[in-house]
Structure 1
């Protein structure tokens, strides 16, 4: 289990994370979502003992990461797949890991097989790896100690569709065996496919925290029109809050009847009108993070700053 309690991180007068609290239960995958600069990576770095918190605490099975007797055996971490030594081979990177963790060398072959890196890839220098191969090696390193918890920041970057499908199955199986996964990703459809629980953060504050079913059930109504702008204006005049989606539709916080009447009043032609359901995560993400941006903590870090990513 992961517990984040009232976590705050300030850099001088700038606030990266402000009073953040959430839990990742055992046997679940928690999707940690937010735009660049929202505080995701800062929170995960604090959790993994890489950055000290200004206030609050982050616990793994009731213990701070730095107090775990052999943390690599309890927690698998992948925060930056490009951090591996470029001059070593993949096999050498993992072999050094077994030496540090006190594991048998046979474990290297086991995790290489698990992540789909064959002998040719394992004996190649990491500097010659593609980004997708680095991600697989990073996952192998995270799994090396057979941990009960995984903390992964954008692990699908560089993976092709087949690789993303493979990773989804790996994480789902890990959680179903009783593991705990905290997964940050900008690939919303993949998060929706694998996560049990969703935590959304914007400008250092939690914007939403709940099960996938709970959050998406209230995602609103999806509407699409032949001429979207006049409809958008009509809905706003009717007091309806709308959020544009990436494919040109709107997510509206009103019932279909209200939207239909507003469209009829201006003669708008609707091409789609339904409960948001499956389209809900992207629209909910845009809606909640937009709301969070209007209530940013004083001195909040600019979203473009890498330190608060």
Structure 2
């Protein structure tokens, strides 16, 4: 289990992460989503002990990462596929990691085969690897110690469609066997396909979290009015988040709340209906306000 409790990180006066709390349970894939600069990578680095938090704490299986005696045997981490020794071969890179973790070297061949880097690919220098191959090597390193937890930041970068499909199956199988996966990615459709739970961060704060099905069932409300500006003012007065789309104004609220805000302001509506758009629509709606604030 991964537990993040009131985690914050400030750089001077700037809050990169602000009071973030969530849990990742065994047997689940948690999608960790947010726009660039939202605080995702900083949060993952704090969980993995690479960045000290200003306040709060993060634990894996009840202990901070830095307190684990042999962390690679308990947590598989892939935060940067390029952070590998360019002069080593793929096999050598895994061999060094296996030696560090006290593993039988036979585990190296098994993991290289698992990620599709056996044979000639294992003997090539990492400097000659494509980004997709480095991602596969990073996944092999994360899986090398047979951990029960995976923490992955953009692991699908550089993978072709076949590779992305392969990775989705690998992560789903890992969770179905009781593992815990925390996955940060900009590939929203892939996250939607594999995740059980979602945590959405914007401007350093959690803007939504919960079961994927429950979150996606509340995709917001689409609304139109003869007087569009009056409608905007009425929704703002009601404290509702609004984003303009080709189909009208998308409001992150139930239809009843939207209709009531318009009625209170005497605005005549020409359309009022639930929105449907999957994870991409939910993501854009939830992060629109935080992105706007960050740009001020």
How far 1:281 moved relative to its partner?
A: 1.4
Moved more, 152-161 or 249-258: 249-258
The CA distance in 2 between the partners of 1:125 and 1:232, in whole Å, is 60
1:232–1:242 Cα contact (<8 Å) kept: no
CA offset digits 1:135-154 (Å, max 9, x no partner): 00000000000000000000
Q: RMSD across aligned C-alpha pairs, in angstroms?
A: 2.7
1:198–1:210 Cα contact (<8 Å) kept: yes
Change (3 A) 1:283 1:54: same
Q: Which residue of 2 aligns with 1:162?
A: 162
How far 1:275 moved relative to its partner?
A: 4.3
How far 1:234 moved relative to its partner?
A: 7.7
Greater relative contact order: 1 or 2 (C-alpha under 8 angstroms, separation 6 or more)? 1
The CA distance in 1 between the partners of 2:73 and 2:194, in whole Å, is 24
Counterpart check, 1:93 vs 2:100: no
Q: Which residue of 1 aligns with 2:146?
A: 146
Query: 5+ residue gaps in structure 2?
Result: 263-267
1:112–1:122 Cα contact (<8 Å) kept: yes
Counterpart check, 1:215 vs 2:196: no
1:17–1:204 Cα contact (<8 Å) kept: yes
Query: 5+ residue gaps in structure 1?
Result: 265-272, 297-301, 304-309
Q: Which residue of 1 aligns with 2:36?
A: 36
How far 1:109 moved relative to its partner?
A: 0.8
The CA distance in 1 between the partners of 2:230 and 2:171, in whole Å, is 44
| Matched ranges for 1:52-71 at <5 A | 52-71=52-71
Q: Which residue of 2 aligns with 1:288?
A: 286
The CA distance in 2 between the partners of 1:222 and 1:165, in whole Å, is 33
2:255–2:273 Cα contact (<8 Å) kept: no
Counterpart check, 1:192 vs 2:192: yes
SS in 2 for 1:38: coil
Q: Which residue of 2 aligns with 1:45?
A: 45
How far 1:291 moved relative to its partner?
A: 2.7
1:234–1:262 Cα contact (<8 Å) kept: no
Q: Which residue of 1 aligns with 2:269?
A: 262
How far 1:229 moved relative to its partner?
A: 12
The CA distance in 2 between the partners of 1:231 and 1:286, in whole Å, is 24
Matched pairs, number: 282
CA offset digits 1:32-74 (Å, max 9, x no partner): 0011111100010010011111111000010000001100000
SS in 2 for 1:32: strand
The CA distance in 2 between the partners of 1:234 and 1:124, in whole Å, is 64
CA offset digits 1:126-176 (Å, max 9, x no partner): 101111000000000000000000000000000111111110010000000
2:225–2:270 Cα contact (<8 Å) kept: no
TM-score, reference length from structure 1: 0.83
Counterpart check, 1:20 vs 2:27: no
Change (3 A) 1:241 1:290: closer
The CA distance in 2 between the partners of 1:255 and 1:117, in whole Å, is 51
Q: Which residue of 2 aligns with 1:119?
A: 119
How far 1:24 moved relative to its partner?
A: 0.5
